[in-house]
């Protein structure tokens, strides 16, 4: 049996307008049940406002559920201490790369998390170097963050979480503000962390080609999880996805329209199917 890392039990979240000025919109959640297993790569899909970002922020105790519980390794973060404990297990990377880098030098920023945890200086140095190497940013460790590209900044942010040695990284639309090159860099990094270091990944996104790379996909719509399963299982239901304001990848869509029964996930699968369909008759 796979080990549960994060468990959402009947979680609802309602945004209370208590006059507090918060420069963001919080989307509601309604009765969400979701298990996130150790070592998996889960993609949470949904259009803007579907509640996917709220789900992310519940994972490491930034928000508190109005109903139900979110537990991380069995810890329910109902006190500040426990919330801190949860944040040592689940790290977070946000959308805007500019607004999460704290220090004026790349390596100092990566050290920020471990420093907060009160780790020995020598150990921090080791972790920082390793983290920077694992995101391919070691050569640029002395740079100033504002001189980096978006993709590079995002990798620095990821390194900052890795250096804290969390079990899980939640990435809230990490590629939404990047160009195609930056997106590729970040996606490759995420893949590598999951496969090589065994870090649990929760990727919040609305890009279907990113979700294809995950082990498991959960689709959200108006605060609920409406579909769950492997990318192949989920992408088979194109009408339902369209209802959720999402698109199929072009190769999947093409095969669907051609009446090919199996769901394909990438271009090479698609080419193969088409060729076998034409029966080599051409």
Partner 1 sequence: MSYVIEAKGLSHCYSKGTNQQVYAVKDIDFSVEKGELIGIIGHTGSGKSTLISHFNGLLKPSSGQILVNGTDIWKDKETLHNSRFQVGLCFQYPEYQLFEETVFRDIAFGPKNMKLSENEIKERVLRAADYAGVKKEHLDKSPFDLSGGEKRRAAIAGVMAMEPEVIIFDEPAAGLDPKGRKDLIKLIRDYRERTGSAIIIVSHSMEDMASLADRIYVMNGGEIAMQGTVDEVYSQGEKLRSMGLNVPEITEIFASLRAKGIDVPANVYTVEQGTEILKKLMGRCSS
Partner 2 sequence: MIGEITFGQYYPGSSVLHRADPRIKLITSFWLIVVIFVCKNFFSLGIIALTAIITSLVSRVPMKMILKSLKPIVIILIFTAILNIFYTQGGATYWEWWKIKVTEKGVNTAIFTMIRIISLVVISSILTYTTTPTALTDGLERVLSPLKVFKIKVHTLAMMMTLALRFIPTLIREIERIMNAQKARGADLETGGILQRAKALVPIFIPLMVSSFRRAYELALAMTCRCYTGGEGRTRMKQMKVSFRDIVLILYCTAATAGIIILNIFFEAVI
Contact residues toward partner 2 (CB under 8 A) are: 21-24, 60, 62, 84, 87-88, 91-92, 94, 96, 98-105, 107-108, 111-121, 124-125, 128, 144-147, 157, 160-161, 164
Backbone φ, ψ for residue 186 (5° rounding) = -65, -45
> Comparing C-alpha atoms, which of 36, 151, 38 is closest to residue 98?
151
Residues near 262 by Cβ (< 8 Å), separated by ≥ 6? 255, 273
Stretch that binds partner 1, among 1-9, 75-83, 224-232, 244-252 (CB under 8 A): 244-252
Contact yes or no for 82/159 (Cβ under 8 A) = no
- For 56-93, the DSSP string reads HHHHTTSS--SEEEEEETTB---SHHHHHHHHHHEEEE
Q: State the binding string over 176-195 for partner 1 (x if CB under 8 A, else -).
A: xx-xxxx-------------
Could you count the other beta carbons within 10 Å of the beta carbon of residue 78? Answer: 11
The reply to whether 253 sits near partner 1 by the rule CB under 8 A is yes
Binding mask 18-57 for partner 1 (x = CB under 8 A): -------x---------------------xxx--------
What does 60 bind: partner 1, partner 2, none (CB cut-off 5 to 8 Å by kind)?
A: partner 2
If the CB atoms of residues 140 and 260 are measured against partner 2, the closer one turns out to be: 140
Which H or E element spans position 171?
Answer: strand 168-172
8 A C-beta contact, residue 132 and residue 106: yes
State residue 116 phi and psi, 5-degree precision: -65, -30
Q: With CA atoms as reference, report the closest residue to 95 among 37, 206, 177.
A: 177
Q: Which does 247 bind (CB under 5 to 8 A by kind): partner 2, partner 1, none?
A: partner 1
Ranges within 108-147 binding partner 1 (CB under 8 A): none
Could you tell which of partner 2, partner 1, none binds residue 278, using a CB distance below 5 to 8 A set by kind? Answer: partner 1
Residue 61 structure tokens: 């105790």
- Based on the shown chain and the rule CB under 8 A, indicate whether residue 218 belongs to the binding site for partner 1: no
Task: Select the binding partner of residue 236 from partner 1, partner 2, none (C-beta < 5 to 8 A, by kind).
Answer: none
**With respect to partner 1, which residue has the nearer C-beta, 31 or 49?**
49
Q: Residue 26 CB, nearest distance to partner 1 (Å)?
A: 12
What are 41's two structure tokens? 């790569």
Indicate the SS3 state at residue 69.
Answer: strand
Instruction: Output 97 or 249, the one with its CB closest to partner 2.
Output: 97
Nearer to partner 2 by C-beta: 115 or 215?
A: 115
């Amino acid at each position: 049996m796979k080990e549960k890392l994060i468990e959402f039990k009947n979680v609802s979240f309602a945004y209370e307008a208590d006059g507090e000025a918060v420069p963001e919109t919080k989307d509601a959640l309604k009765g969400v049940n979701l298990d996130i297993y150790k070592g998996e790569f889960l993609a949470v899909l949904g259009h803007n406002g579907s509640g996917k970002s709220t789900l992310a922020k519940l994972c490491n105790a930034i928000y508190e559920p109005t109903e139900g519980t979110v537990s991380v390794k069995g810890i329910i973060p109902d006190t500040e201490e426990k919330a801190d404990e949860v944040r040592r297990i689940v790290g977070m990377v946000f959308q805007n790369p500019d607004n999460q880098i704290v220090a004026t030098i790349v390596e100092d920023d990566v050290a920020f998390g471990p420093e907060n945890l009160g780790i020995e200086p020598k150990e921090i140095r080791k972790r920082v170097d390793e983290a920077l190497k694992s995101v391919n940013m070691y050569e640029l460790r002395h740079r100033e963050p504002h001189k980096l590209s978006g993709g590079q900044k995002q990798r620095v942010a990821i390194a900052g979480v890795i250096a804290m040695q969390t079990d899980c990284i939640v990435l809230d639309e990490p590629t939404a503000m990047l160009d195609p090159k930056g997106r590729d860099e970040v996606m490759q990094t995420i893949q590598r962390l999951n496969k090589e270091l065994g870090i649990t990944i929760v990727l919040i996104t609305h890009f279907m080609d990113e979700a294809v790379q995950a082990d498991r996909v959960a689709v959200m719509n108006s605060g609920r999880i409406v579909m769950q399963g492997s990318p192949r299982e989920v992408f088979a239901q194109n009408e339902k996805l369209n209802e959720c304001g999402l698109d199929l990848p072009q190769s999947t869509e093409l095969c669907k329209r051609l009446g090919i029964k199996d769901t394909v996930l990438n271009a090479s699968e698609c080419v193969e199917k088409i060729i076998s369909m034409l029966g080599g008759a051409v």
